[in-house]
Amino acid sequence: MALPKKKTVRAAAAQIAPDLDSEGGTLARVLETVHEAGCRGVELIVFPETFVPYYPYFSFVQPPARQGADHLLLMQRAPTVPGPMTEAVAAAARQAGMVVVLGVNERDHGSLYNTQLVFDADGRLVLKRRKITPTYHERMVWGQGDGSGLKAVDTAVGRVGALACWEHYNPLARYALMADHEQIHCAQFPGSLVGPIFAEQMGVTIRHHALESGCFVVNATGWLHDEQVRRLMPDEALQGALRGGCHSAIVSPEGKYLAEPLTEGEGLVVADLDLALIDKRKRMMDSVGHYARPELLSLAIRRDAASTTRPLAAPEPALLSDDIPLPPEAA
């Protein structure tokens, strides 16, 4: 019996700087990068957390009383989903024949959300999910997500799942994607934040998930140029809070780096994913299969989308006294 043909996927993690000066500048960078990656044969690309229009770095270094103007500007520049931004990315994905995973600040009327979008290679938006709980300073900027997008989706490159930043420290959120049999996990972090320790912790986190899930992990972090750091925080004593924390990388199901992680500057981390490695890993340890004990330990997920309203059933009409039926013996 002939063995199935080996399937490989060329993946890329994009570490690039956002445009802090214009509404459409970062989107233009996304489209250029998709085209560049397509010329290199990339079939899946992952961009950093809330990359469009930019991650709210201001919220990490400014006190709440000073954040108003920057928060409003971010809201004004944030895209709606669907909208012109999603149409542009969908067209780029379709033209390149590439699966695109993009982090955006999604505007939904008067609120912003940390949203992850997955576009299939034909341009269809196959997943929109919101970060379940914004982390620390982010709670001043974004609303909470729900479980409706906590799932893996079928794409041209396989089953793809996604989590943002410290959601990777929520073992139940990770298990939800593991149980949905993700083959390629797309991780997104802001980059240029916290310092070198953030990058070190990130490396441990994504390698552990690759091993535990038996999947590939493609992790993208953002990058800030020195001028952008100085602009966001003029106080030199606090500029260190906006440096380091970059670790764009691709990890195999065996926990190995498939390319040198990018920790400084801009660029693409590119590697070929041999999907046969998933079976090689899971043959020995399938956390949601033969190595699981569902009769002892299991996960309950509420997958309906959160809503501020819900319909109530109409009350039964009241019967008038004349409408009350008489018993048979009195008829």
Residues 131, 138, 167, 215: which is the catalytic one?
Answer: 131
Question: Residue 64: is the preceding peptide bond cis (ω within 30°)?
Answer: no
Q: Name which of 20, 153, 36 is nearest 92 in CA terms.
A: 36
Active site residue 165: yes
The whole-angstrom separation of Cα 161 and Cα 304 is 18
Q: Name which of 266, 270, 289 is nearest 279 in CA terms.
A: 289
| Strand ranges for the chain from DSSP E | 8-15, 44-46, 99-108, 111-119, 125-130, 153-155, 158-164, 184-189, 216-221, 249-251, 267-274
Is residue 148 within 8 Å of residue 176, measured between CB atoms? Answer: no
Residues 106, 151, 165, 282: which is the catalytic one?
Answer: 165
State the CB neighbour count (10 A cutoff) for residue 29.
19
Is residue 228 within 8 Å of residue 26, measured between CB atoms? Answer: no
Question: Encoding tokens for residue 203?
Answer: 């490396």
Active site residue 131: yes
Residues 43, 49, 138, 212: which is the catalytic one?
Answer: 49
Q: Where in the sequence numbering do the catalytic residues fall?
A: 49, 131, 165
